[in-house]
Every structure is written in C-alpha cells, then in structure tokens.
C-alpha cells in the first residue's frame, strides 16, 4: 500500500513514490499502472518532450493525479516563463499545473523576473504550487526572497545511496523550512537495482538487507530515500513490471539498524 506525504507546508498529499519521466519512452501503460498502484505524482518537464504522453495518461482522471512539470532553464525571462507555461498546459491538455518548477538556475536570467512570473501564474490559478530543481541553499533563499507572497514548496535534486551530497546542507535546510525534496535518479541509473554483476561490499550489504525484507535491492534503495522525512522519490521506468516493483518500495519501512548499516556501507 502506497504511503503519502504532504507537499511542503501545503495540504496537497503526494505519493512518496512518484513517476519520473526523464528519458521516458514507455508510453501510457507504465504510467497508468503506477497510478493504479497508488502513485499519484507524475513528474515531467518542458525539456523532456513527453508532456503530451502525460496528458494522454491522465485523461478522465486528471483530478486524481498531481502533475509536476518544469520550465526550462533556457526560458526563465518573465515573458518566457508565461509562454512556456502556456505551452505546457496545451501539451498536458489541462487548465492547471499542480507543481510548476524552475528546471535549473540560470544566471543569464534575473531570478527576480522568473519568480515574478511564477507569482503571476499562481495569482491567476494556473499554477497551484511552485518548486525549483537543482537549486543550492543560497539559490533557494534568493528565489524565495523574490517570491514573497508564496512559498517555494519543493526542490528536485539528485539523491540516492551513492550520491548523498545534499545531506551536507541542502537536505537539513529543506527539512527545517518544510520544503519537499523530490529525489531524482534515486536508483542511480540502475546501479542500485541491477546489482547482479556488482560484488562490491556495499552492494552485498544492500542485497542482504533486501533478502531480509523479502524485497528487491531497488526497493530497499528507494525505501532508504523515502525513510527521510521530507523526501519523495521519483524513479523512472519504461516497463509495467518495474513500475509495479518501484511502487512496492512504499508501504513498509527499513528498521533503524538497517538504515544505519546502509548509511555506513554507502558513506
């Protein structure tokens, strides 16, 4: 059974395993299966060129699905953001976006202009909540400064057992400020789920803990992510079977001693 978390400090409830679509080629079936498994969050982007697939997936069930999409870091001027949002709405075949994110910071565009455009979109009801992606603590603070009437609710960043850089300052900051971390590449491009050919000590620990819980290594790696209070994982899969497996990462939790062992093995 899928567990859920609130987005930031909002009342919006999202599944702790979402459906990522970067480099996605699976069509509507895996996404529909994920929704059927309880994953109500689909993450896409202007730059993924698959918003139309997401739109096809949610036809007739739009009110049951949380759509997160992103404006490209190449389109962060005031008018550009408004234009990009309009294009995304058309491709998604919807009249609102649940979470609209700045895909990456780009110093070529004043963040003030970007966030003022975001504010206009929220004011108009076209966007419900605003997030960012690949933002550092300082970049988050600056973006929030120019978004005074609303709160940035999420930051989508790379996070997995092999890549824990955000634990230094970004993860604690987001927790302290009620910002949801959307963890992309949570399986490290398959290295944490396809472990058959890896005989390293850390993978042995992962496999042993997976056996203990009668789960797959990928499910344990995803569960490790979502065991963190404010983290939601958004793995991508092009197959129905792997989507079912990913969704099975929720509904249970690794014990503290096994979390400690994973943390030590994957330092």
The two tokens of residue 158 are 């790379």
Q: How far is CA 51 from CA 54, 157, 197, 219, in A?
A: 5, 20, 35, 27
Residue of 53, 46, 44 whose CA lies nearest to 22: 44
17 three-class SS: strand
**Enclosing H/E stretch for 81:** helix 78-92
Provide the pairing of β-strand 66-71 with 152-158: unpaired
Query: 29 and 65 in contact (C-beta within 8 Å)?
Result: no
Q: Is there a catalytic annotation at residue 48?
A: yes
- Catalytic member of 24, 48, 129, 173: 48
Output the 3-class SS for 184-234.
ECCCHHHCCCCCCCCCCHHHHHHHHHHHHHCCCHHHHHHHHHHCCCCEEEC
Q: Measured at the alpha carbon of residue 34, what is the angle toward residues 32 and 35, in degrees to the nearest 5?
A: 65
- Catalytic positions, written as ranges: 48
């Amino acid at each position: 059974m899928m567990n859920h978390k609130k987005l930031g400090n909002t009342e919006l409830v999202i599944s702790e395993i979402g459906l990522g679509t970067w480099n996605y080629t699976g069509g509507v079936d895996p996404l529909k299966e994920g929704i059927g498994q309880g994953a109500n969050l689909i993450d896409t982007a202007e730059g993924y060129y698959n918003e139309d697939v997401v739109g096809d997936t949610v036809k007739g069930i739009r009110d049951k699905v949380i759509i997160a999409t992103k404006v490209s870091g190449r389109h962060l001027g005031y008018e550009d953001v408004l234009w990009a949002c309009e294009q995304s709405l058309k491709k998604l075949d919807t009249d609102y976006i649940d979470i609209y994110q700045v895909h990456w910071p780009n110093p070529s565009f004043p963040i003030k202009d970007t966030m003022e455009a975001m504010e206009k979109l929220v004011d108009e009801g076209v966007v419900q909540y605003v997030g960012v992606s690949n933002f550092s603590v300082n970049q988050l603070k600056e973006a929030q400064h120019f978004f005074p009437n609303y709160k940035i609710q999420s930051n989508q960043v790379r996070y997995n057992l092999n890549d824990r850089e955000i634990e230094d300052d970004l993860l604690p900051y987001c927790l302290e400020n009620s910002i949801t971390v959307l963890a992309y590449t949570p399986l490290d491009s398959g290295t944490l789920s396809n472990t058959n050919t890896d005989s390293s000590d850390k993978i042995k620990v992962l496999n042993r803990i997976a056996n203990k819980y009668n789960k797959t290594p990928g499910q344990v790696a995803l569960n490790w992510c979502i065991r963190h209070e404010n983290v939601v994982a958004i793995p991508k899969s092009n197959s129905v079977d792997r989507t079912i497996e990913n969704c099975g990462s929720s509904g249970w939790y690794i014990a503290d001693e096994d979390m400690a062992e994973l943390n030590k093995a994957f330092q």
